[in-house]
Structure 1
Amino acid sequence: MRVLVTGHHGYLGGVLTPMLRAAGHDVTGLDTDYYLDCLLGPPPPDVPTIRLDLRDVGPEHLAGFDAVCHLAALCNDPIGNLNPELTYEINHRATLRLARAAKAAGVTRFLFSSSCSLYGAGTDDRPLDEEAGFAPVTPYGESKIRAEQDLAGLADDDFSPVFLRNATAYGFSPRLRGDLVVNDLTAHALLTGEVRLLSDGSAWRPLVHAEDICAAFLALLEAPREQVHGQAYNIGVSTENYLIRDVAELVAEVVPGSRVTFAGGASPDARNYRVSCDLVTARVPGFRPRWTVRKGIEELVEAYQRHGLTIEAFRSERHQRLRQIRALTDAGRLDTELRWSTR
């Protein structure tokens, strides 16, 4: 297929783009490039690129594509909280604009990178399936709900939206995100000797490796239409739900000489949920996740050491998304609407 990947210069995009190419697909990227230089090690092989703000996409940019893998977004809760209205503009309204443009251009499959964050605050320890109610606690989670609901309204015989509700990601990518819990805890364990928790660690969280998320995109791209049309799937592994304090203990086990510590005033995290990912593995035989958190921690340790990561670099804007956005705005390169004023 001819596939457009939005956000291909981001954390997941740096893994998905080469995976799609290796599977034989013709890939083009679309990115506004907030994180182009946020690298750990060499960049992944590049693909033809449309450098464009997601808010400016029109049908002319989608002509000739068979499918869209839509990753681009303001990508986490701290950035979402920075300006909730911009989060809704980019994650919701610009996503809908992109989908309408894709439909008008004759694209038949639209894979949307949603999030288990839309489940938000679970009321008990029961794993949530795709029929569970939503209880978002952040603008980011709410923006994913709004996008899913409006995308579903575009579904018809010629246009199939698919919703990938990704668990919390971890694992190595050439455009590493340090603001993800496993990536963060592992870096601090290795580089400072402390597995430092900012919460009390009592919250549940489903975790999934970046490669497994991208493998789900590939499987759902290639699956028969009847398996994907209008369907939401929790992306992860049902056995990979963890209490955050147990993740910290696992990191301490893997990284010699490290120990778990708690920040002063550490309190419960409002985001607290477990999910069931049984539906996608039952209905989409092409998706076979292969990572566990322990294997992911081991991979991260090896990658951090191989690329000579320092704690100063890890904490800098290169690997912290909110700090990168603030650095670009403070330098006058992005305006208050997060549009480029200078390149």
Structure 2
Amino acid sequence: MTRVLVSGGTGMVGRFIVEHLARHGYEVIVGGRNRPAPGHFGAQVAFTPLLLDANRNQQEAFTGIDHFVHAAFDHVPGRYRGGEGNDPEGFRLANLDGSLRLFQEARESGVKVCLFLSSRAVYGAQLPGLELTEDTPCRPETLYGRLKLEAEQALAAMADAHFRPVNLRATGVYGEAQPDGRHKWHDLFSDYLSGRPVPPRAGTEVHGDDVGAAVRLALENLSDKPRAITLNVSDMLVDNRSLLAIVKEITGSAHALPDAAPRDAFNVMNTEKLRRLGWRPGGAERLRRTIEALLA
């Protein structure tokens, strides 16, 4: 059985990756600061301590590991962009230097594929309406985006005949609620259903299980590639009005919907490379099913 270590496996995105891989026959080991609470995952998974610490030797965690999925990220709770808070240097040391130490230890331990969960934030500001491909020049505007890009580049430089880097640039990830009941749109739905004003906003979204599928397909199809691979992961462009229209229909709320957000200038991500591996995201149908489950 293929053994996969997932750092940050209890996080907002990492938990979907863990669940997906476990359902598809992988032996998953969750790496993180704290052991998951009983029942956190639907499947039984192992745990090993793993920190974003460039000064700590953690090579033992990679013993017997076939693939490493690095989804851990140290940030102010609830914030990615701006997640450095008042400590940009500590943010850099943990998320760049700490990640590079783990990449190096994975490589030295014989890990075959090292997959880094990056972000669309690496693209930064682009011409209005420009479609983003993996070859689009990156212009990150935030420290978060810059560190993701620097980690991508450092990992790519480690590629050799035995170590295959994959950078997965994911957009906004949504999905079922966490064990504590919270989810990505908790505040948005609460504001709308309470009659509070909701601003117009558009963004690209992808279900967490579809991110998990992208990870699995990369592990299964890219282990023999001679160089680093970068893949966009995105499904739908939606706005607050279209999301809340589903909420309004399901709940029968009488509150007015927010204005539609402009979409023509938005930079949609091209996912053709990933689709050639057989990736098929859930689209509008999965979005609606998830919102129904969240409201229930």
Per the shorter chain, which TM-score range?
Answer: 0.7 to 0.9
Stretch of structure 1 that moved more, 78-87 or 253-262? 253-262
List alignment gaps of at least 5 residues for structure 1.
Answer: 263-267, 306-343
Q: Which residue of structure 2 lines up, in the alignment, with residue 47 of structure 1?
A: 45
* Distance of aligned partners of 1:221 and 1:123 in 2 relative to their CA distance in 1, 3 Å threshold: same
Q: Which residue of structure 2 lines up, in the alignment, with residue 12 of structure 1?
A: 13
Distance 1:57 1:168 in 2: 32
* Distance of aligned partners of 1:137 and 1:25 in 2 relative to their CA distance in 1, 3 Å threshold: same
Q: Which residue of structure 1 lines up, in the alignment, with residue 203 of structure 2?
A: 205
Distance 1:136 1:32 in 2: 29
Verify: 1:79 aligned to 2:76, yes or no: no
1:121 and 1:272 in contact (8 A); partners too:
no
- RMSD over aligned Cα atoms: 3.0
1:122 and 1:274 in contact (8 A); partners too:
no
- SS of the equivalent of 2:293 reads helix
Distance 2:31 2:120 in 1: 24
2:69 and 2:117 in contact (8 A); partners too:
yes
1:16 and 1:211 in contact (8 A); partners too:
yes
Aligned AA (2:72): A
- SS of the equivalent of 1:221 reads helix
Verify: 1:120 aligned to 2:124, yes or no: yes
- SS of the equivalent of 2:198 reads strand
Verify: 1:277 aligned to 2:271, yes or no: yes
* Distance of aligned partners of 1:250 and 1:120 in 2 relative to their CA distance in 1, 3 Å threshold: farther
Choose between structure 1 and 2: higher helix proportion.
1
List alignment gaps of at least 5 residues for structure 2.
Answer: none
Q: Which residue of structure 2 lines up, in the alignment, with residue 260 of structure 1?
A: 257
Once the two structures are superposed, the pairs formed by residues 153-164 of structure 1 within 5 Å of their partners are 153-164=157-168
Once the two structures are superposed, the pairs formed by residues 91-240 of structure 1 within 5 Å of their partners are 91-174=95-178, 180=184, 182-190=185-193, 192-194=194-196, 196-197=198-199, 200-201=200-201, 204-226=202-224, 229-237=227-235, 240=236
Stretch of structure 1 that moved more, 14-23 or 100-109? 14-23
Count of residues in Structure 1 that have an aligned counterpart in Structure 2:
284
Q: Which residue of structure 1 lines up, in the alignment, with residue 60 of structure 2?
A: 60
* Distance of aligned partners of 1:91 and 1:222 in 2 relative to their CA distance in 1, 3 Å threshold: same
Verify: 1:2 aligned to 2:3, yes or no: yes
Deviations 1:272-315 (A, max 9, x none): 63211122102x12x221243x642542342343xxxxxxxxxx
Distance 2:229 2:251 in 1: 40
Verify: 1:241 aligned to 2:237, yes or no: yes
Deviations 1:186-227 (A, max 9, x none): 34334x244623xx53xx522111111111111111114346
Q: Give how far 1:122 is off.
A: 2.5
- SS of the equivalent of 2:83 reads helix
User: Percent identity among equivalent residues?
Assistant: 26
Stretch of structure 1 that moved more, 17-26 or 54-63? 54-63
- SS of the equivalent of 1:68 reads strand
Q: Which residue of structure 2 lines up, in the alignment, with residue 29 of structure 1?
A: 30
